[in-house]
Amino acid sequence: MEAGQIFTRVFRQMRPRTPLPDVRVQFRRYANANAQAKLENGALLIRMADTLAGAPDPVIEALAEILLSKLFRRPVPASSNDRYRRYLNRRDVRNSLDLVRQIRGRKRVEHPQGHTYNLDEMFEDLNFRYFHGLMARPVLGWSPNASRTLLGHYDPPHNAIVLSRILDRAQTPRLAVEYVLFHEMLHLRHPAEHNGARRCVHTRAFKEAEKQFEHLREAKAMLRRL
Ligand SMILES: [Zn+2]
């Protein structure tokens, strides 16, 4: 069955009295298995990664239940979530998604050994001091550009932490760089929470954990003077 027919059927089940909208499914070349649904000018617009085009009907149906539940602000049925997740976790699906990600989502990250600081070493040191050495090392690297506004970020699909090249200078104190890396490591440890339509990246647990950083105030003050 076509994806559009499956979405139409699920829509009718969820909203039996609402007139059926035009359902349009677009496959996009995303770097991961993304999908969204929105109502626009009376049409139901579904955008999903072309990597999902070959998914079996029950998986597309589960995805339709997930996306339409979110659209109508209803709880997502656990069975749909489960079915969809199991599919994405299948080894063959994971392998092909990894491949697509590597080809399409090529990240511009430079070697962890910078001019001044080595991120691999710094990671291991922070890992030992704050995480009992138990955190698996993600991909670490310096950004090619020296951004002042985005000092660091953690990118879950690539499992990468990237720090701005502006931190890799002799005049930037080590403590400041350590703090930015520590903050990003906490993102790895405390994933974003989804609260209905809201997404919280700095959860309460995250903020509590951040307070463990020694000389936190000093580090933050250094960053303001960059
Ligand atoms: Zn953050």
- pLDDT one digit per residue (tens) for the chain, 226 residues: 789 999 999 999 999 999 999 999 998 877 677 899 999 888 999 999 888 888 889 999 999 999 999 999 999 999 999 999 889 888 888 777 776 776 666 667 889 999 999 999 999 999 999 999 999 999 899 998 888 888 998 888 778 899 999 999 999 999 999 999 999 999 999 987 766 556 678 889 999 999 999 999 999 999 999 8
| CA 43 to centroid of ligand 1, rounded, Å | 36
How many whole angstroms from 84 Cα to the centroid of ligand 1? Answer: 29
In 3D space, the residue among 28, 21, 27 whose CA is nearest the CA of residue 7 turns out to be 21
pTM here is 0.55
DSSP strand pairing (198-200 vs 193-195): antiparallel
CA of 193 to the centre of ligand 1 (A): 13
Cα–ligand 1 centroid distance for 209 (angstroms)? 12
3-class secondary-structure state, position 162: strand
- C-alpha distances (whole Å) from 188 to each of 44, 64, 161 are 35, 29, 9
- Cα–ligand 1 centroid distance for 7 (angstroms): 36
